[in-house]
Every structure is written in C-alpha cells, then in structure tokens.
Amino acid sequence: MQPRNMSMSGVVDLAAVKAAQEAKAKAEQTRAETARQGGAGAVSPADLVIDVDEAGFEREVLQRSAEVPVVIDFWAEWCQPCKQLSPVLERLAVEYNGRFLLAKIDVDANQMLMQQFGVQGIPAVFAVVAGQALPLFQGAAAETQIRQTLDQLVQVAEERFGLTGLNVDPDAESGAGPEAVAADPVGPYDALLEAAVQALDAGDFGGAVRAYQSVLAEDPGNSEAELGLAQAELLQRVGGMDPQQVRKDAAERPADAQAQIAAADLDLVGGHVEDAFGRLIDTVRRTAGEDRDAVRLRLLELFEVVGPEDPRVSAARRALARALF
C-alpha cells in the first residue's frame, strides 16, 4: 500500500515539546559530548526497539536523535493495521543493525504527543533526526516501500547531519530487556502467513490472496489473515488501474457505482481513509438496488482493510446506517 507523506523534506513543529531550535541545539550538544567521549558504546539488538512515553520523550527521542535517526511508531492496542505494521518495523530495526532506533508510542497513553505531532490516524510513522521531526507515512504500507523510506531516512541522516548510527554488538547486554524486540511468532500458519507477506513484497498480489485464503480455510477466525487478505485484494484491484482515468470517471459520473468504487479503492491505497469512506457513503445515498448493494459491500471490505476498531470505521458505520435507513 502506497504510504502517505513519503517526502523527507517536511518538518513537524515540535514547539509544544521543545522549541525546534532548542531541540536541535541539544542534539548538537549531545553529539559533541558523545564525540569527546570517543563515541557511543555498543548496544544490543534488543535495545534498538524501545517504548517511549511523554516523560521520557526528550531523553529517549530528542536527545538520542543526535546520535541516530529515531523512527516513531504511533500505535494502539485496538488498531488492527498497527498489529500488521509494528512487527515489520521491529524486525527492520534489528535488520538495519543500528542505522535507526525504533521508538514505540501508545497513543492512548500519550495523547499529548499524538496531538503535538498532528497525528490524524494510526498507524502513523515519523522520524526525528537531530531534533527535527519528519513525517514518513500514515497507514499500512508494503515492506518494500517501508524499506525505501528507511533507506532515504538513513541517507538524509548521514549526508545532512553526519549520523552514522549505533554500534550494535550481538553479545552486548540489553538495557531494555528481551521483551523490547518482539519475538518471532510461532503458530501453525506462520509459513503461509510469511509466504503471503513475501508475495506482497514481490508484487504478487494474487499469490498473497491465495496464501491468506489457505489460512482462512483452516482457521476462519484468523485476524491476521483476514486483514492481510483484505489488503492484498485491495492492492490486486488497484494494480491494474489507470489512476488518472479512474479519477476522471469518478468526477464525471458521481452516481456511477463502479466508478466511485474504483476511486474509493485509490483513495484508501493513498491513505485517504475518510475520503474513501465518505465517497462510498455518498454513493449509497445516490444509488439503489444492485448498485447500492455493490457499494455497501465494497465499503464493508474497506472497513476490514482499515480495521474494525479504528474510530474512523466506527464513524463511517454510523454514517452508512443513516444513509441506508
């Protein structure tokens, strides 16, 4: 799924936490102090993923961003897409071997930080480099695109700020405990689920659909497979579209169910969740019979992509009920 806000040029205002210039100055001071001490000591792979709250934000994120890019994962327990994205980010943090630090922030427990970063929905991913915050993407994303974003982040950190990352020693004692990095899942369907993820990364959306369907055939209530299937089917549909033509058709034919369904798929892939939902709810109001049913069913499928616990889904369900009845 195409992440939003992939540009590395935007800067988020951190004034509510610390003035941007003060944060940058502290980052420079920390970097200079680290250099005088002969560089940062070795850390363990488990220390590359940390939980951060409001009290520790300045120390764990702003100050450490003078040594290494800090990627922030805004998440919540009720967020289904977060449960797909967070393990990928945790695994990549270890794989990148110290080139970035992953800070996980639970938005339910840290509302102030969520507001200060202007987070409109989760999952949302930012980075802080030398005291400056950069928006990376919002919503679910394919691992290949996440890697591209991280590669760009690492390059910016090295070229503009001289941050070469942390020294990682696999034998170093962890300061955060083994729970800091999620363990690899163990279950009867792990091989199929991993095959589905690899198919998605390779752009083989049909293969991913089949793998997820195989899991659901044996375990109909598997939430990971349900979410993965919804995402894979969405990507499969969008893969063959001409976005410009789809947008043109939707603008010219507001009551055409299929034109609006296609445009809503593009909206969601682009991270415009509320636009996708609103488009289809408006189309439900304009249509009847089989067309209305088709639009309603597609909307329910998109609810699955976003996750049933997402507040935007709850709001859209209420709006859909009003449109139908």
- What one-letter code names the amino acid at 72? I
Cα radius of gyration (the chain) = 21
Residue of 46, 48, 82, 319 with catalytic role:
82
Alpha-carbon span 8 to 17, nearest angstrom:
21
How long a stretch of residues is the chain? 325
Residue 160 Ramachandran class (φ > 0 left, ψ -120 to 50 alpha, else beta): alpha
**Residue pair 74/135 in contact by the 8 Å Cβ criterion:** no
In Å, what is the CA distance from 170 to each residue of 87, 94, 155, 184? 20, 10, 24, 17
304/230 Cα distance (integer angstroms): 6
Q: Nearest Cα to 162, choosing from 32, 2, 59?
A: 32
Burial degree of 265 (CB within 10 A; 0-12, 13-18, 19+): buried
Beta strands in 167-277 (DSSP E): none
User: Which run of H or E residues covers position 72?
Assistant: strand 70-75
Identified catalytic residue from 14, 46, 48, 79: 79
Q: DSSP readout, 248-294?
A: HHHHH-TT-HHHHHHHHHHHHHTT-HHHHHHHHHHHHHH--HHHHHH
* Closest-CA residue to 133 (of 125, 144, 121): 125
Residue 82 annotated to the active site: yes
**Active site residue ranges:** 79, 82
